[in-house]
Amino acid sequence: MNQRWRLLALWLLPIGVAVFLAFQLLGGGPNRLSPSGVTTAPRNAAVARMSYGRFLDYVDAGRVTAVDIFDGGRTAVIEAVDPDLDNRVQRLRVDLPGVAPELVNKLKDQGISFDIHPPRQSPPALGLLGNLLFPLLLIGSLVFLARRSNGMPGGPGQAMQFGKTKARFAMEAETGVKFDDVAGVEEAKQDLQEVVTFLKTPERFTSVGAKIPKGVLLVGPPGTGKTLLAKAIAGEAGVPFFSLSGSEFVEMFVGVGASRVRDLFKRAKENSPCLIFIDEIDAVGRQRGAGIGGGNDEREQTLNQLLTEMDGFEGNSGIIIIAATNRPDVLDSALMRPGRFDRQVTVDAPDIKGRLSILKVHCRNKKLAEDVSLEAIARRTPGFTGADLANLLNEAAILTARRRKEATTLAEIDDAVDRVIAGMEGKPLTDGRSKRLIAYHEVGHALVGTLVKAHDPVQKVTLIPRGQAQGLTWFAPDEEQSLVSKAQLRARIMGALGGRAAEDVVFGHAEVTTGAGGDIQQVASIARQMVTRFGMSDIGQFSLDSGSQEVFLGRDLMTRSDGSDALASRIDDAVRSIVQSCYAETLKLVAAHRDCMDRVVELLIEKETLDGDEFRAIVAEFAPIPEKERFTPFLAETSAS
């Protein structure tokens, strides 16, 4: 409603200006102006003009029969007889230099009827109103906008409101989200439910000496449900709730962020006990000391004020701060200590049980066919976050509506998974040579992944383009791969090189294509990490990767290397050795199973898509498939000496 009134006032300003100008031009004076700027008489104007000298000649010749003088003697309308027009009477306009006595005497001597019309005078009140209309309208509109903007930071007339907090406040937040609506993050839910219990029944904890936590930091990748958990806390707690983003503290004016922090905590103390939720706190809580070249850093001043308000001299009893970030590595250490953020709750990507529970929540309003298994979907989507699973079911529902089906089937689920992972489906290839080359490339990936024992099993091979890829091979990774062995890393390198090896064996080394560009980048990354991070080379069991030390984190002004130039050369040699040995094994494996590859390629060109079971059944006709081993991490126990 306030926005509507402001728009109305902004429309009234140009309308008032137009009315004022129109009044001044058309009705604000005793006479009106013609479009040409010449004053006209209030009666019908003459159709032709006559010069003043010619008018005097007509008067002397006795051709003028009547004269009407207007505008204080500046204009006259005459009736004259024109001999050139059969002595017809013609009305003419004459511009006079003024009502001179000589002209009046001449008209009397010639016996010409004349009349002098006095100027029309507008009422004084109307003239005064016309002169004051625009200033009054302008002042009134500005006052109206200022009053309408009262209490709205950033609006017109709110120059003194920059230091006020922009947090959204709700006495009882109606977010529509409860803890039952959040699934897949049971450990995080348990920690946050205790916070709600602290607020509702604090005596349960204070009776045994426990203190309410001052802050809870939600840490996790994007899309895992951090903001959703905050909404659930707000919906369950039933206490005043403030919500804002970290970027809303910082403005272009020095000191505004710190002022907003003070105002936020002032309002929170007035409504305690309450909750404050700060989303993306890394926007204001980054490591201090990153300012280069001196000067005042507005973000650091804001962070200093936030640290003081959270756990300073005065304290903030009854206020619980909940913050969310996906970059905990850039946060200042003073912000992370107990007493400010007492708890750090990790909200990670869900496991298979978590994904199953998330799918059950998101499919409540979806119509699924009876043969759709949510457990099968959960198994096929390792690494998916809650947001990814919600998007997956939504894409499947859109495909169901597009295909005019009453319920979502496995076909829509499969297509939605492929779309979320690889992108939109393109047109199938029609060029026979390109299609065959891509088929050999993809079958090379799948064949190596199937025949290497430590590699993940093949899930699907397709020639249907998706996104930027002309063909795709999917693998089904193990669910619990928190630790990866050296054999698995080498198997991944061989699987990635399978496409290039197939091109090399079938078409020759001179005919390999750029299709393996992305695979080679992946291979180089894995091999370098094996050498510099995981100690899986002849160089030794120590890390040579210093990690990312950007300047803005306030640590090092320049990135530095942990080794000498000679050591860097040894690293390059070790990486090259790993890649070359893996490629030699891959070439040997592909060449030994050329007949199998040719058979699978012919079938793939015909059907365009093969699922994992169908692919393995064909390969099993030519060679035994090793049983895939699942790497089970073990716990090394040590005893104190």
Per-residue pLDDT tens digits for 132-183: 666 777 777 777 666 655 544 444 444 445 556 666 777 666 667 778 778 8
Summarize pLDDT for 92-137 with one digit per residue, the tens.
888 887 666 777 778 777 778 777 777 666 666 666 666 766 677 7
Q: Give the residue, 161 or 506, on which the prediction is more confident.
A: 506
Strand order in the sheet with 168-170: 168-170, 241-245, 274-279, 319-325, 215-219, 343-346
| CATH fit for domain 168-346, picks 3.30.70.260, 1.10.630.10, 3.40.50.300, 3.30.420.10 | 3.40.50.300
Instruction: Name the β-bridge partners of 611.
Output: 460
Locate 10 and state its tokens. 């902004």
Q: Give the residue, 158 or 479, on which the prediction is more confident.
A: 479
pLDDT for res 38: 34
Residues with catalytic function? 442
The class (CATH top level) of 48-116 is alpha beta
Assess whether pLDDT exceeds 70 at residue 263: yes
* Least confident range of 8-17, 39-48, 388-397: 39-48
Question: Contact 258/296 with Cβ under 8 angstroms?
Answer: no
- The span from the CA of 553 to the CA of 586, in Å, is 43
Q: Transcribe 221-250 into DSSP letters.
A: -TTSSHHHHHHHHHHHH-S-EEEEEGGGS-
pLDDT for res 35: 35
CA distances from 415 to 219, 334, 392, 422, 477 (A): 32, 48, 10, 10, 19
Buried b (16+ CB within 10 A) or exposed e, 613-635: ebbeeebeebeeeeeeeeeeeee
Assess whether pLDDT exceeds 60 at residue 218: yes
Summarize pLDDT for 354-388 with one digit per residue, the tens.
888 888 888 888 888 888 888 888 888 888 888 88
Q: Count Cβ atoms below 10 Å from residue 638 Cβ, excluding itself.
A: 5
pLDDT for res 502: 92
Summarize pLDDT for 310-320 with one digit per residue, the tens.
877 776 677 88
The confidence band for 42, taking pLDDT boundaries of 50, 70 and 90, is very low
Assess whether pLDDT exceeds 80 at residue 632: no
pLDDT for res 545: 64
- The span from the CA of 151 to the CA of 148, in Å, is 9
Which pTM does this prediction carry? Answer: 0.65
Q: Give the residue, 409 or 483, on which the prediction is more confident.
A: 409
- The span from the CA of 268 to the CA of 276, in Å, is 8
Q: What is the mean pLDDT of residues 64-68?
A: 84
Q: How far is residue 531 CA from its own chain's centroid?
A: 38
Assess whether pLDDT exceeds 60 at residue 441: yes
Question: Contact 307/326 with Cβ under 8 angstroms?
Answer: no
Measure the CA angle with vertex 583, ends 578 and 587; round to 5°. Answer: 155
Tokens 């280069």 belong to 292
pLDDT, averaged across the chain: 77
Assess whether pLDDT exceeds 70 at residue 50: yes
Q: Give the CATH fold of the 432-620 domain.
A: Methane Monooxygenase Hydroxylase; Chain G, domain 1 (1.20.58)
Q: Count Cβ atoms below 10 Å from residue 205 Cβ, excluding itself.
A: 14
pLDDT for res 94: 84
- The span from the CA of 243 to the CA of 230, in Å, is 9
| CATH fit for domain 352-422, picks 1.10.8.60, 3.40.1190.20, 3.40.50.1820, 3.30.2080.10 | 1.10.8.60
Question: Contact 355/390 with Cβ under 8 angstroms?
Answer: no
